[in-house]
Amino acid sequence: MAAKLGPRLADRPPWTPTPAELWSKVAVGNVDFENDFHADTPGSDLIKKAILDNDTRPLYLEAWGGTNTIARALKSIEDEYNSTSSWSAVQAKVNQKAVIAALGMQDNAYADYIGKSWPKVKLYNMGGGPGCSAVPANAVYCSPEYWTPLKYSHGPLIEARSFFGDGTYHVSEEGITSNGIHNWEPGQAKDMETFRLYNRGDKHQRMEFAGEGDSPTFLFLLNNGLRATQDPSLGSWGGRYKPSDTIPTTYNGQADVNPETGTASSGYASQRWTPEMQNDFAGRIEWGASPAFTDANHNPVVKLANSDLTGKAGKTVEVSAKVTDPDGDNVKLNWSVYTDASTVTSPVAAVQNPTSKTAYVTIPDGAKSAERIVVVLTVTDKGTPALSKYGEVVITVK
């Protein structure tokens, strides 16, 4: 499918991979049994090669079903180098480069081996993820009205995917359980009273929790203008993360305050971005179904004048950006203080001139040295679907 879509994606953003690049990254890992990392596999060899190559950038090792193949790659590195004179250098390289992004500990490989033998390798212990439950106004983005038109008019790949209330029905892989309810039913149930996604015992209908739960590990890395790959506490579509107080190489999800409820949750740290996130997915569907670049909408381009600024307490700081749109669409700008990602303890006044390319942020009189104010510029175009890009500015108090 990627090969078929290749010509249509060739003029999309430069990070769109070619089919050859995708195939070069596909290999079978350790699958003999749960928690298996007893022997090298093509998958573990691929990870090992990537860890040890000369690319000095962080290497994010995503684990959506357990860390056992990652464990095997690290064990192979240890077995090859631990009795050599280069072992210390290899350890330092791995500790600096490898970042495990895991959706929970879905096997025991991290506890049994990685955490003990490689305690300095960073672990992002991720959770939460996309959804529409946190903000009532976002419910449309998880509705049949939103997704069904996309599913049935954009080619066979997306038509084969199950969406919320899309009218499809598939038989469960595991059959009917002892209580008569299917464990997993993608698509719309024929009988809502009998068939549900999970037997949760609550009012939720089937498919009201149908998002892929492991996607925060991938959404975290999307180049949308948020700066989580530089500092995970700055936030991303996959949530916001900080080091554990007891294990500084383990990063855990942080809670953002939901303005609808006044309560904080790590789930809202991802769901606060739901409109932009879901529209972005819809936009990518359009890319694959559009023969020409001009047939689809594309994200605006945001270039900040400065992404890191300083200022003294009581002073006003200017933030600005150059904004363009590749399709020539009109755009809407909004600068806002990201309070949850900020560390100032004094309240920050609303951004002045928030809908213009140049805006102003006043540092509170009570702000202390080294505290920070995080300001997010959200730029959304008037195309269909409306697509967005961010700019994230960190103002550090002098």
- Spacing of C-alpha 27 from chain mean position: 23
Is 388 part of any domain? yes
Tell me the Cα Rg of the chain. 23
Is 16 part of any domain? yes
Question: How much is the pLDDT for 133?
Answer: 81
Q: Determine the residue type at 390.
A: Y
Which of 125, 157, 181 delimits the end of a domain?
125
Residue 349 bridge partners (DSSP): none
Q: What is the pLDDT of residues 182-209, one digit of tens each?
A: 444 444 444 444 444 444 444 444 444 4
Is 325 part of any domain? yes
Which of 125, 143, 161 delimits the end of a domain?
125
- Sign of the Cα torsion 127, 277, 392, 340 reads negative
Strand 250-253 to 122-125 pairing: parallel
Question: How much is the pLDDT for 331?
Answer: 98
Q: Residue 328: give its domain's CATH number.
A: 2.60.40.10
Task: Dump the DSSP string for 3-54.
Answer: HHHHHHHTTS-TTPPPHHHHHHT------SSTT--SS--HHHHHHHHHHHSS
Question: How much is the pLDDT for 194?
Answer: 47
- Per-residue DSSP letter, 254: -
Q: Burial-class residue 29 by CB neighbours within 10 Å (0-12, 13-18, 19+).
A: buried
Rounded mean pLDDT, 227-244? 96
Round the average pLDDT of the chain to a whole number and report it: 87
Is 234 part of any domain? no
- Per-residue DSSP letter, 114: I
Alpha-helix runs per DSSP H in the chain = 2-9, 19-24, 42-52, 68-81, 87-97, 109, 115-117, 144-151, 156-159, 216-219, 268-271, 274-289
Is 326 part of any domain? yes
Residue ranges making up the domain that contains 376: 297-397
- pTM score of the predicted model: 0.87
- Kind and range of the H or E element at 266? none
Which residues contact residue 72 at a Cβ distance below 8 angstroms, ignoring those fewer than 6 apart? 29, 30, 37, 38, 39, 40, 41, 43, 44
Q: Determine the residue type at 45.
A: D
Dist. CA 191–CA 125, nearest whole Å: 37
Cis peptide before 17 (omega within 30 of 0): no
Is 27 part of any domain? yes
Q: What is the pLDDT of residues 272-326, one digit of tens each?
A: 999 999 999 999 999 888 888 899 999 999 999 999 999 999 999 999 999 999 9
Question: How much is the pLDDT for 212?
Answer: 57
Q: Determine the residue type at 378.
A: T
Is 305 part of any domain? yes
Which of 77, 103, 125 delimits the end of a domain?
125
Q: Which of 39-43, 174-178, 357-361 has the lowest mean pLDDT?
A: 174-178
Q: Residue 52: give its domain's CATH number.
A: 3.90.245.10
How many domains does the chain contain in total? 2
Confidence of residue 1 (pLDDT cuts 50, 70, 90): low
